[in-house]
Amino acid sequence: MADHDAESSSSHFIYDVFLSFRGFARYRFTDCLYHALCERGITTFRDDENLRVGDRIRYTLLEALERSRMSIAVLCKDYASSTWCLDELAQIMKSWNNGKFRPVLPIFYQVEPSDVRRQRNQYEKDMMKHEDRYGKDSHDIKAWRSALREVANLSGVTCTVKSYESEIINKIVQEVSEKLPPEPLYIKHPIGFDSHFEAVESLWNIESDNTICMLVMYGDGNKTTFVGELFNKFRHQFEAASFLHKVSEKSRRSADDLENLQETLLHEMGVHKKPKLGSMLKGSSIIKQSLHNKRVFLVLDDVDSIEQLDSLAGGGDWFCPGSRIVITTRDAKFLNNQVLDGFKIEKYCINEGEFEGMQGARSNQKKDKVFEEDMVGFVDIFNNVTKQLKENETNLNVISVIGMGGLGKTTLIKKIYNNNEVKKLFSYCVWITVSKDYKATELLQILLKGCGLFESTKGKDISKDDQKSKVQKFLEKKKYLIVLDDIWEPEVWAEVECLFPDNNNGSAILITHKKIK
């Protein structure tokens, strides 16, 4: 694996593996393991006990750990005797737990995992010595004990006194090769992307685990380079990640193209020992089965057909909430006429730095770019409405914008709907244009699609009341923002009002209409 420069902007990481160890194992087992990893091309940081002097070295060790893609802890009998090792282990498990999900491989070297987990035998003696020194209820003691329990609960490798160490080391190197996340992409001279990063970060709210966001990036700008840098910057915050380059081109080389892409995705996501797929349908099933409980970051570069998307990211139930899917495409209208269950879909124009939000379906499936139109006369209204949305955290807020046709009501509401700060407030957003020829059944179908419920009702004899009940139940636990644009008659609102529950959480409905009776 490549050696990465610490100052490179293309990668957060400079080491593949951080190796933590203690005691007599360092001169034989750990030394052999270190050299075996290096020979495989795995860049490994070896913690040298001789350098553990002063705060400066402590900071250096923690920085090395922070910038390693995975960690190995060689847990021998006297590992817990070292506060350095215990500090390292606590930091290792913190990085594993706090959303970064970097793989951790424990090696139980001539020690029982249960001794580590329950702190028995030598581990008990060492921890009691630490308690005498720091106090039983000290923060450090609690953190060390918790880290020992957590690491002992992970799947690891046990090396007993009767084991052939050379075989164990080969097994470890192979397992590390499989668990190690894919290398960061090499990005040549990534410049001029700062404003795009800011826009995308605010758009998809990467810290949120409430939804699965799909970002569709289009335009004439250098989409692939930007997305590659985005991938390098955020991949360490996910349990698994994959960047599939040139999907359109690779999907047309042979009859098994999409199946090959599925296999690549599974491999890069850390799914190993998988059977030969045999068919694209089986591949889709394995992806869903393997990744449905993982928070993943998936990039599909240069997609031009819904078939490609269906085979690689077919539905929101394929991935854990909090996952992020990024698609680059040359087609600005890609997904305009499609409904993808379970995804919150956003669109971003790379060459203009403009974005537009989209959740589920919109009536007529119409997705117009939000242009910078003249807002003279609307600034006060814009500020007032956005303030109401931000400050209201209790009752359902229904806001109407009334005026003659051509005044710019829709433009105003679009700017509010697509405002970065407003987007962050709601876990579910949908825009519905209610035409003059509005039919209640059509609006209900759009809401069913937007809620990801349409497929479960299609072809079934489900009453209108049951359909309404499904929508209401879906929205009950959501903080939602729904736009009903261009309502012509007050009877329309009277008929659909019952669909939107008051969750006492600040949900909102924005309505535009031309007249009042």
* Catalytic center residues: 88
Please give the C-alpha separations between residue 236 and each of 91, 99, 100, 310, in angstroms, as whole numbers: 16, 9, 5, 26
Which position has the token pair 């269950």?
341
DSSP lists the bridge partners of residue 244 as 300
Which position has the token pair 């350098």?
51
CA distance 427 to 474: 12
Tokens linked to 109: 């070297």
The torsion defined by the Cα of 192, 196, 197 and 199, in degrees rounded to 10, comes to 150
Handedness of CA 260, 266, 270, 272 (dihedral sign): negative
Please give the C-alpha separations between residue 129 and each of 100, 123, 141, 148, in angstroms, as whole numbers: 33, 10, 11, 16
The amino acid at residue 507 is: S
CA distance 426 to 464: 27
The torsion defined by the Cα of 426, 429, 431 and 434, in degrees rounded to 10, comes to -90
CA distance 74 to 30: 8
CA distance 91 to 269: 24
Cβ of 461: how many Cβ atoms within 10 Å? 6
Three-class SS state of 13: coil
Residues in the chain: 517
Identify whether the C-beta of residue 383 lies closer than 8 Å to the C-beta of residue 391. Answer: no
**DSSP H or E run through 298:** strand 296-300
Three-class SS state of 483: strand
Please write down the HEC assignment for all residues of 173-209: HHHHHHHCCCCCCCCCCCCCCHHHHHHHHHHHCCCCC
Angle between helix 139-152 and 122-134 (nearest 10): 160
Please write down the HEC assignment for all residues of 240-273: EEEEECCHHHHCCCCCCHHHHHHHHHHHHCCCCC
**DSSP H or E run through 216:** strand 212-218
In this structure, the strands spanning 508-513 and 480-487 are: parallel
